[in-house]
Chain A
Amino acid sequence: RKEVEQDPGPFNVPEGATVAFNCTYSNSASQSFFWYRQDCRKEPKLLMSVYSSGNEDGRFTAQLNRASQYISLLIRDSKLSDSATYLCVVKSDYGGSQGNLIFGKGTKLSVKP
């Protein structure tokens, strides 16, 4: 089983739609979780952290399910500008002083007018 798995998509949705991405992780000891956004041929940028209780930032809601080892990202009222690849990122501590961030391959979202 891969460490971090995401549906690659693409998810093609109309403007205004609600879309959800899931991500599963294999290491049950993982401690921190994030969603990054990456535009085509650009660098990834932190979208939001994912907290155990779930958290919301405007139209974006992130949830964590530790028992099932998955995290989700919900985007409401999709905008054209939301078109991008969304990367699921999990921090797994392998000991020592440096934890390792494991990136999923990303889920591509395309919002159409």
Chain B
Amino acid sequence: SQTIHQWPATLVQPVGSPLSLECTVEGTSNPNLYWYRQAAGRGLQLLFYSVGIGQISSEVPQNLSASRPQDRQFILSSKKLLLSDSGFYLCAWSSQGAGEKLFFGSGTQLSVL
């Protein structure tokens, strides 16, 4: 069966510090991978998605970047965090060609202070 792992679960970082969140998927190959952010009182916002290694699409201009160095690994990064980067970050995957049913990781609660 497929599983998705995301870590860490919580993170408190000072403004201006770097960020690296990692997500890995097991039990499937060539998945679509996604990074979402859920700010307090707001809906899920798609940040990045990837249909293959090294293929990253950005949905919104921001202070973040994403990379997919391996088929089942997706990394969210920032060189310098802003206060507005605080939120609940969720990694997700879906099957290629059927990017409808999303399966989410357990999320990372990021607080930038």
Contact = CB atoms under 8 A, between A and B. Distances in A.
Chain B interface, >50% SS class: strand
Interface residues of B, number: 22
Contact of B100 (A41, A42, A87, A99): A99
Interface stretch (A10-18, A59-67, A70-78, A103-111): A103-111
Interface in B2-42: 32, 41-42
Interface in A17-62: 32, 34, 41-46, 49
Interface of B: 32, 41-44, 46, 49, 51, 57, 59, 88, 90, 99-107, 109
A101 interface: yes
Contacts of B43: 4, 87, 103-106
A97 interface: yes
12 contacts: A41-B107, A43-B105, A43-B106, A46-B102, A91-B100, A98-B57, A98-B99, A99-B99, A101-B99, A101-B100, A104-B43, A105-B41
